[in-house]
Structure 1
Amino acid sequence: MDAATAHAWAALGGRPDLAGHVAFVGTPGLGSALPVRGLARATVGVCSLAAAELGRLRNGGGLPAVRVDEGAVAVAFTSERHLRVDGRPIPLFAPLSGFWPAADGWVRTHANYPHHRARLLAALGIPDSGRDDDVLARRLAGVLAELPALDVQERACAAGGLAVAVAPPHPSDEPLIETQALDNTGARPLRPSTLPADGVRVLDLTRVLAGPVATRTLGLLGADVLRVDAPWLREDDGTHIDTGFGKRSTRLALEDPADRATFEELLRAADVLVLGYRPGALDRYGLDDDTLRERRPDLVVARLSAWGWHGPCADRRGFDSLVQAGTGIAVVEQGDDGRPGTLPAQALDHGTGYLLAAALLRALTERSRTGAARHVRLSLAGTAGWLLGGGIGSVAGDAAPAEEPDRWLVDSDSPYGRLRHARSPVAVAGVPTSWDRSPSRWGTDAPRWATS
């Protein structure tokens, strides 16, 4: 039995004897100073096992085989790098995103989205007057070199921007998964189906990347997934394409009475609600835990955050790259020249995404068995703490190179053009490894459920 898989399965509340049902095959990848390979295969393993468990509950019989190929895992964890749209790769990081020397250390910035870019520049007093990115990058480097790293971090935070001081390694105290079982509202058995999540309605209020990875996985498993975005909060095309498989995408302004009424109709019919915004950001719309428990005690609710739920940074914005910097992963992975480094994949995002999907599948299993819904919470910081804290252990061949990715890539048509993209690494006998629905144009689907 793989120790990391057993640990994650226990955190999900699964029966201990089932953890040994996961088999790993294939050529490993994701070599790193930290046990990223172990994290990646364990998170995909428990997600696959949770899907198999729900499938068995729906159909009876034995537990479907779970055989996770580590080559598929390595490619899926770097899916954004393999994506091609009409033969072209997608941009990954903008010129103002990255590591920069500060007066007393290093800072990591994230400026991929225009509003984050504007806030970062404003926080540092850099006018954005139509200059090209190379000019702005030189100006940014000059300003950052004169400021202490923590000063940059706090200035950016106060302005709603994104910059984090690179810190020494310090595992977070955040749990890997938090679960709260609600009162029994009556068993909700699901009809038999070849797909574990068939007919489950998932309302997806998440953005880059962990939440969309989770809901993309639920879409693969048969769920009716509808992603809802605010009309003014534009999504990056490449990110949307990479994580938009198996779901539909709509836009609603919750401040608008008509859109709010539409959203309330969707919520009333949902089985699962997934929230990926900062803690408290959506409470004014009645999406806080207490209100949801009172209104929909049978609703499975998942919350995702960057920095966790208990510390001083819990309400801050964050992305995988920033959590790597702030928890010390960047120091562990630094190069011989002392420059901070990164993991071989956005493993906090992808790993947390598969854990989140697993937690939702297990919640559906328990609701079907007992009638008790669950609220679950995960964070990138919790996953980082698991990676740094020694709970994963090492796996033989951690530094082995991955095989050629072509066998794990597939072609499909979409409104954006011809796509070449990664298959899903989730591996349950009888479940497909690619989606029957390509990404639709962001925000263009009708705000209604596809299933009756």
Structure 2
Amino acid sequence: MMPDPAPTAILGALWQAAGLAGRPPAELPGEEPVLPSSFRVAAAAQATIAAATAAAAEIHRRRGGPAQMARVAMRHAALEFGSERYLRLDGRPAPAGWDSIAGTYRCGDGRFVRLHTNFPHHRAGVLALLGCEGTREAVGRALQDWEGLAFEQAAAEAGMCVAAMRSPAEWDAHPQGQAVAALPPLRIERIGDAPPVPLPPVAARPLEGLRVLDLTRVIAGPVCGRTLAAHGAEVLHVSAAHLPSFDDLLPDTGRGKRSARIDLRDAAGRSALLGLAARADVFLQGYRPGAIAAQGFAPEALAALRPGIVCTSLSAYGEAGPWGGRRGFDSLVQTASGFNHAEAVAAGADPAAPDPKVLPCQALDHASGFLLAFGTLAALLRRAEEGGSWLVRVSLAGTAHWLRGLGRVEGAFGLPVPGLDELGDLLETMPSGFGALTALRHAGWLPETPPRWALPPVRLGAHPPAWA
């Protein structure tokens, strides 16, 4: 049996898979384990953050800046995979942000299901399907009349967000698990012809002068935009007043970004976004597959509008397979793809009927966000040399399959998850649109162009829909 790959090997494999030559310029100090998990969450954090950081360094070098060695400490990287928990606003802990009926329940056949009801319409839809009141007790009673897999399917058909807990073996045998396993975790595809777009002349920061439209919500997509902003990109986050959002996450994921609102339901809104896209380098979106395309913003349409654009697509389960268009979140993909089952068994539970045990952080979200940022930067490097318009694809389920493939860690469940008061100089403070903010600094470090967020996080729609 081959030993589990070292973080440097994991990073090297990502670098090669993205079509980049040479070795990534990065130092990766630290040792596992860091967090209480049987999976190599810390190694995944270190490698994905290092990939994005090293790619930013390479862009800066090719613009005429000095060569730099990225440095990503394992402990800091692992903590950044839980950055949303390390927040203080005006000295108070950030809100928990979970709906009262979200979580796991045992169905009548003994199988667990996980409900994701943080958006009001998802909560209302689940309660309508169950025909019960909005309390955990009522939901638990109602689910006794269901088999787990049947409720998962009924919820999906109703457009709701539910996952039945499977073992890794069950997921591997499932058609969607097989579809995910057939694809790499990061795909960079040329989707149109365009002449090479030279990188701008050297500037003070690696991504200065590059424009990113960020149409994402929750964690994974916003982490990608936040990472690009940390290296100097102009990131304009676009939302709409009628769409639900996790506002509790914005103080963390909104750092470095401006925020505008555009309603794509009317012609004026679509025209405004087209105008922004025509001058963008990157179009980042993380809505359900097909949702943005239906509004006229398919990658191919954007490539025709703006030859040389880099489009990114983030999804829950990928675009292939029977669940290709299904809604999902990190916690649901963990449940469906075997992580909750595997973690419970590794912790000593009965393999036949373990209670779900979650990863110690939203690892699929954060890893996907950093993979997407890395893929975006790799596509910009390839655009400068090869020309073309590009599409970068990442899915939470694909990231889950990749994380499983990194191997396992023993003896980590006794480790505590560090609290904010234990982080010391890993924290930074800044004013924000939400109050005085204390938050975790970025784990990716470059000595000549240290990453920073030049803009504080703001509330949605604080800026006009225009490039600065």
When normalised by structure 1's length, the TM-score is: 0.92
Given candidates 413, 422, 428, the residue that maps to 1:410 is 428
Q: Deviations over 1:299-322 (max 9, x none)?
A: 111111010121111101110000
Partner of 1:192: 202
Contact 1:31 1:37 (8 Å CA) reproduced: no
Rounded to whole Å, the distance in 2 between the matches of 1:186 and 1:33 is 45
1:13 is aligned to 2:12: no
What pairs up with 1:210-225 in 2 under 5 angstroms? 210-225=220-235
User: Residue type matched to 1:163 in 2?
Assistant: V
1:79 is aligned to 2:83: yes
Displacement, 1:257?
Answer: 2.1
Partner of 1:291: 301
User: Residue type matched to 2:90 in 1?
Assistant: D
- Comparing 139-148 with 88-97, greater Cα deviation is found at 88-97
Displacement, 1:191?
Answer: 1.6
SS of alignment partner, residue 25 of structure 1: coil
Contact 1:27 1:69 (8 Å CA) reproduced: no
User: Residue type matched to 1:312 in 2?
Assistant: P
Rounded to whole Å, the distance in 2 between the matches of 1:328 and 1:205 is 29
Q: Deviations over 1:401-422 (max 9, x none)?
A: 6773222111111121111111
Rounded to whole Å, the distance in 2 between the matches of 1:397 and 1:361 is 36
User: Residue type matched to 1:67 in 2?
Assistant: R
Given candidates 189, 203, 210, the residue that maps to 2:213 is 203
Given candidates 314, 318, 323, the residue that maps to 2:333 is 323
SS of alignment partner, residue 269 of structure 1: coil
Rounded to whole Å, the distance in 2 between the matches of 1:402 and 1:432 is 27
Given candidates 114, 117, 120, the residue that maps to 1:108 is 114
User: Residue type matched to 2:360 in 1?
Assistant: P
SS of alignment partner, residue 128 of structure 2: helix
1:358 is aligned to 2:362: no
Given candidates 122, 127, 137, the residue that maps to 1:121 is 127
Rounded to whole Å, the distance in 1 between the matches of 2:118 and 2:91 is 22
1:55 is aligned to 2:60: yes
Change (3 A) 1:180 1:30: same
1:444 is aligned to 2:458: no
Partner of 2:270: 260
Contact 1:75 1:405 (8 Å CA) reproduced: no
Partner of 1:161: 160
Contact 2:167 2:338 (8 Å CA) reproduced: yes
Unaligned 5+ runs, structure 2:
1-5, 173-179
Rounded to whole Å, the distance in 2 between the matches of 1:401 and 1:6 is 30
User: Residue type matched to 1:384 in 2?
Assistant: A
Partner of 1:133: none
Q: Deviations over 1:121-178 (max 9, x none)?
A: 11211245xxxxxxx1110011112311111112222222111101111353132111
1:314 is aligned to 2:343: no
- Comparing 262-271 with 23-32, greater Cα deviation is found at 23-32
Q: Deviations over 1:177-217 (max 9, x none)?
A: 11112424233331211311111110111111110000001
User: Residue type matched to 2:434 in 1?
Assistant: Y
1:232 is aligned to 2:242: yes
Count of aligned positions:
438
What pairs up with 1:268-287 in 2 under 5 angstroms? 268-287=278-297
- Comparing 342-351 with 371-380, greater Cα deviation is found at 371-380
Given candidates 96, 103, 112, the residue that maps to 1:98 is 103
What pairs up with 1:172-183 in 2 under 5 angstroms? 172-173=180-181, 174-181=183-190, 182-183=192-193
- Comparing 112-121 with 426-435, greater Cα deviation is found at 426-435
Change (3 A) 1:394 1:24: farther
User: Residue type matched to 1:283 in 2?
Assistant: A
Rounded to whole Å, the distance in 1 between the matches of 2:323 and 2:167 is 16
Displacement, 1:84?
Answer: 1.3
Change (3 A) 1:60 1:83: closer
Q: Deviations over 1:221-245 (max 9, x none)?
A: 1111111112201322211221000
User: Residue type matched to 1:94 in 2?
Assistant: D
Rounded to whole Å, the distance in 2 between the matches of 1:275 and 1:93 is 24
Unaligned 5+ runs, structure 1:
129-135
Change (3 A) 1:402 1:154: closer
Partner of 1:147: 146
Contact 1:110 1:163 (8 Å CA) reproduced: yes
Rounded to whole Å, the distance in 2 between the matches of 1:55 and 1:443 is 31
- Comparing 5-14 with 356-365, greater Cα deviation is found at 5-14
Rounded to whole Å, the distance in 2 between the matches of 1:95 and 1:45 is 37
Contact 2:207 2:233 (8 Å CA) reproduced: yes
SS of alignment partner, residue 356 of structure 1: helix
For the aligned residue pairs, the C-alpha RMSD in angstroms reads: 2.0
Contact 2:204 2:449 (8 Å CA) reproduced: yes
- Comparing 359-368 with 214-223, greater Cα deviation is found at 359-368
Contact 2:38 2:410 (8 Å CA) reproduced: no
Displacement, 1:289?
Answer: 2.9
Rounded to whole Å, the distance in 2 between the matches of 1:321 and 1:113 is 14
Rounded to whole Å, the distance in 1 between the matches of 2:381 and 2:147 is 50
Q: Deviations over 1:324-346 (max 9, x none)?
A: 00100111111545211111110
Change (3 A) 1:315 1:354: same
Contact 2:48 2:370 (8 Å CA) reproduced: yes
SS of alignment partner, residue 313 of structure 2: strand
SS of alignment partner, residue 59 of structure 1: coil
What pairs up with 1:21-40 in 2 under 5 angstroms? 21-26=25-30, 29-40=34-45
Change (3 A) 1:345 1:296: same
Partner of 1:303: 313
SS of alignment partner, residue 45 of structure 1: helix
Contact 1:110 1:116 (8 Å CA) reproduced: yes
Change (3 A) 1:30 1:8: farther
Contact 2:76 2:426 (8 Å CA) reproduced: yes
Contact 1:425 1:433 (8 Å CA) reproduced: no
Rounded to whole Å, the distance in 2 between the matches of 1:177 and 1:290 is 19
When normalised by structure 2's length, the TM-score is: 0.89
